[in-house]
Chains A and B, each alone.
Chain A
Amino acid sequence: AQKVTQAQTEISVVEKEDVTLDCVYETRDTTYYLFWYKQPPSGELVFLIRRNSFDEQNEISGRYSWNFQKSTSSFNFTITASQVVDSAVYFCALKEVGNTDKLIFGTGTRLQVFP
């Protein structure tokens, strides 16, 4: 069954600390996509990254980096030198492209960055 698990419900850090948000997924498909979205206090869902199942290269974008490991079915997200503006709920999501094309979200991790 298709499932996304974000075990960390809430994380609090002080500004400039590094923080890693965990995401573990389950799927029977060999072809799938993984996503991270950010939901700031204003409520909209902002796309951060898409990764397909055939591309295990890690990616860095500014202070953000993502570590995709198929062997452990994980797609973790690290924010380096966190800032107050990073405070938000972060969602990991999985889309199978075989039978279902469903886009399923994890329960989210609330990140609070204190000054």
Chain B
Amino acid sequence: DAGVIQSPRHEVTEMGQEVTLRCKPISGHDYLFWYRQTMMRGLELLIYFNNNVPIDDSGMPEDRFSAKMPNASFSTLKIQPSEPRDSAVYFCASSFRGRMNTEAFFGQGTRLTVV
């Protein structure tokens, strides 16, 4: 398996533009997590899904952020409109619960810069 795949790896955009981050979880995993990492706030959980259903989005900073998981193999995190303070590394992770609660496997992250 190729692991969790995120795209793009780097994104530079202008303030006010829409940004879409993409994630392909590991096949068979039933949990998907979106995190944001900044120097000031560390690793923050934004939202997580179980079997494609959003379970907890209390970490989403504001209405400009939205996340979807239309199927088991794809998720998006959208920021519209983007602002400079959204600049961060965004990680996607997936895990499998089942009988053995596995660790979360992380993608390489998307480094977002909003200018």
A-to-B contact residues, CB < 8 Å: 33, 35, 37, 43-45, 47, 50, 52, 91, 93, 95, 97, 100-108
Contact = CB atoms under 8 A, between A and B. Distances in A.
B108 A103 contact: no
B14 interface: no
Nearest to B43: A105
Given A43-B108, A47-B105, A103 B56 contact: no
A82 B106 CA distance: 25
B109 A43 contact: yes
Interface stretch (B21-29, B60-68, B78-86, B91-99): B91-99
Main secondary structure of the interface of A (DSSP, over half): strand
Contacts of B50: 101
A103 B104 contact: yes
Given A45-B106, A108-B42, A108-B43, A103 B101 contact: no
A44 B93 CA distance: 11
Contacts, number: 51
A112 B67 CA distance: 36
A10 to B, nearest CB: 13
B109 A44 contact: yes
A102 B31 CA distance: 10
B89 A43 contact: yes
Given A101-B55, A103-B33, A103-B104, 17 more contacts: A44-B108, A44-B109, A47-B105, A50-B101, A50-B103, A91-B43, A95-B101, A97-B97, A97-B101, A100-B56, A101-B97, A105-B35, A105-B45, A106-B42, A107-B42, A108-B42, A108-B43
Given A44-B109, A102-B45, A33 B93 contact: no
A19 B108 CA distance: 28
B103 A35 contact: yes
Nearest to A33: B101
Contacts of A105: 35, 42-43, 45
